[in-house]
């Protein structure tokens, strides 16, 4: 009797409490399953990615601050010049800087300037791996993936051109000489420019191997088919021939042709040169002095080299005026002026040869400044241990 009453009491309780327990258990099981799935889908972030993200945040904050300061400075500059800040271009900024802050420094890069931060600060290399540390590029572990990717593309193009050449040979066809790719008007990117393009640091041997690979690709008879790829790593030669025309020939009272070249510069030397044709080969420096004005043979050879190169040594007269600087600087300034004067009297082929020989290119080298804490530009003080 007691057991039956106890059964009646417990059984209803079980019928009510059991579904509650089952529901709670199912909820717990579902939450555990979701947490497991979340843990599976959420990939752990590697230490390398954490470091990269931290550097990226710092870089973005720095660039944002610099852009804000540049925009604010450009508005101030526009207000000072009385211009509309909204339509104030970069060219207007450069002109305003030159007007408001005139500088007598010979080196243009040392003069004050204001450029957008993207042009001043180097580009930052993007992430090369995902959150788990898996690299995107198959050449990541070479240490220079962009460099070796470029070489890989060169090898690919060479193999493709070899296959195309074999096909043309089987068809007994020869390459069209009119389509030959001529790279004489271009020069390869220098080591510093190539490192900026690849966003990687290269050694001298790496750069030499890179240039040799591209020269081999360019020398192939059908290299014009990959001209766009080659020109990505070359730049046109910018020189005085492209920027300025040869001085115009004038005629004096005696009926002789002459050309005067002003602003002949080299270091601190300044001069001007007048070339007259026809002549007897007379060279006059500073009114009444000849080639013996220069004490050393090296400076004399600098003056005579343009005349010998163009075979006009005894066919023209040269009148020079020069001041400032030393003997070497004066000789370099006059050599440049004589070369540009002779350019007006020679044919285009000879003018191109003069350009390739470096006669028409200004020498912008200057004396390296002394460094603080040193004896000179490179020389150091004598080190004493005691």
Q: What is the DSSP string of 197-212?
A: HHTS---HHHHHHHHH
Q: pLDDT at residue 199 above 50? A: yes
Task: Judge residue 343's burial from the number of C-beta atoms within 10 Å of its C-beta, 0-12 exposed, 13-18 middle, 19 or more buried.
Answer: buried
Tell me the CA distances in angstroms from 264 to 29, 171, 272, 353, one per residue in order: 89, 58, 6, 21
- Calculate mean pLDDT across residues 27-43: 49
Task: Judge residue 324's burial from the number of C-beta atoms within 10 Å of its C-beta, 0-12 exposed, 13-18 middle, 19 or more buried.
Answer: middle
**Rounded to whole angstroms, how far apart are CA atoms 12 and 15?**
5
Burial readout 55-80 (b: 16 or more C-beta within 10 A, e: otherwise)? eeeeeeeeeeeeeeebeeebeebbee
DSSP 8-class letter at 301 = H
Summary mean pLDDT of the chain: 81
Which are the contacts of 214, defined by CB distance < 8 A and separation ≥ 6?
A: 154, 188, 230, 233, 234
Q: What is the largest CA-CA distance in the chain?
A: 152
Contact predicate 259/248, CB 8 Å: yes
Beta-carbon count within 10 A of 325 CB: 18
SS3 323: strand
| pLDDT bucket at 124, cuts 50 / 70 / 90 | low
Kindly report the pTM of this predicted structure: 0.41
Q: pLDDT at residue 45 above 80? A: no
**Rounded to whole angstroms, how far apart are CA atoms 158 and 222?**
10
Tell me the CA distances in angstroms from 125 to 32, 46, 190, 193, one per residue in order: 41, 18, 20, 15
Span between the terminal Cα atoms of the chain, in Å: 111
For the segment 46-93, what is each residue's pLDDT rounded down to a tens digit?
A: 665 666 677 777 878 888 888 899 999 889 888 888 888 888 888 888
The DSSP H or E segment spanning 19 is helix 2-41
For the segment 254-280, what is each residue's pLDDT rounded down to a tens digit?
A: 888 999 999 899 999 999 999 999 888
**Rounded to whole angstroms, how far apart are CA atoms 355 and 339?**
10
β 283-285/317-323 pair status? parallel
Residue reference for tokens 């939450």:
31
For the segment 201-218, what is each residue's pLDDT rounded down to a tens digit?
A: 899 999 999 999 999 999
Contact predicate 343/354, CB 8 Å: yes
- Calculate mean pLDDT across residues 38-47: 54
Tell me the CA distances in angstroms from 135 to 46, 56, 195, 294, one per residue in order: 12, 17, 21, 64
DSSP 8-class letter at 299 = H
- Calculate mean pLDDT across residues 333-360: 90
Contact predicate 329/266, CB 8 Å: yes
Which are the contacts of 386, defined by CB distance < 8 A and separation ≥ 6?
A: none
- Arch. (CATH architecture) of 243-356: 2-Layer Sandwich (3.30)
DSSP 8-class letter at 129 = B
Which one has a higher pLDDT value, 301 or 177?
301
């Amino acid at each position: 009797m007691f057991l039956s009453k106890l059964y009646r009491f417990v059984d209803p309780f079980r019928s009510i409490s059991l579904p509650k327990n089952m529901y709670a258990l199912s909820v717990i099981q579902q939450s555990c399953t979701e947490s497991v799935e979340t843990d599976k889908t959420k990939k752990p972030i590697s230490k390398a990615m954490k470091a990269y993200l931290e550097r990226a945040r710092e870089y973005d904050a720095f660039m944002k601050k610099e852009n804000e300061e540049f925009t604010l400075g450009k508005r101030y500059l526009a207000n000072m010049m009385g211009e509309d800040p909204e339509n104030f271009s970069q060219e207007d900024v450069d002109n305003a800087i030159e007007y408001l802050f005139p500088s007598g420094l010979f080196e243009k890069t040392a003069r004050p300037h204001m450029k957008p931060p993207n042009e001043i600060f180097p580009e930052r290399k993007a992430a090369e791996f995902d959150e788990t540390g898996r690299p995107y590029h198959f050449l990541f572990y070479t240490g220079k993936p962009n460099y070796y990717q470029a070489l890989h593309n060169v090898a690919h193009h060479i193999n493709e051109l070899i296959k195309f050449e074999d096909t043309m040979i089987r068809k007994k066809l020869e390459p069209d000489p009119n389509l030959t790719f001529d790279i004489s008007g271009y020069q390869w990117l220098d080591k510093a420019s190539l490192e900026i393009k690849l966003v990687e640091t290269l050694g001298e041997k790496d750069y030499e191997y890179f240039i040799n690979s591209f020269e081999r690709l360019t020398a192939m008879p059908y290299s014009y088919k990959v001209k766009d790829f080659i020109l990505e790593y070359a730049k046109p030669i910018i020189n005085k021939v492209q920027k300025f025309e040869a001085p115009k020939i004038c005629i004096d009272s005696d009926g002789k042709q002459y050309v005067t070249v002003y602003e002949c510069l080299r270091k601190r030397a300044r001069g001007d040169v007048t070339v007259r044709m026809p002549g007897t080969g007379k060279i006059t420096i500073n009114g009444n002095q000849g080639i013996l004005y220069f004490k050393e043979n090296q400076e004399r050879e600098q003056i005579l080299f343009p005349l010998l190169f163009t075979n006009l040594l005894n066919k023209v007269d040269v009148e020079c005026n020069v001041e400032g600087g030393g003997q070497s600087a004066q000789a370099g300034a006059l050599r440049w002026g004589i070369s540009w004067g002779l350019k007006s009297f020679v044919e285009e082929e000879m003018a191109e040869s003069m350009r390739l020989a470096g006669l028409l290119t200004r020498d912008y080298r200057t004396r390296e400044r002394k460094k603080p804490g040193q004896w000179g530009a490179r020389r150091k003080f004598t080190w004493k241990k005691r």
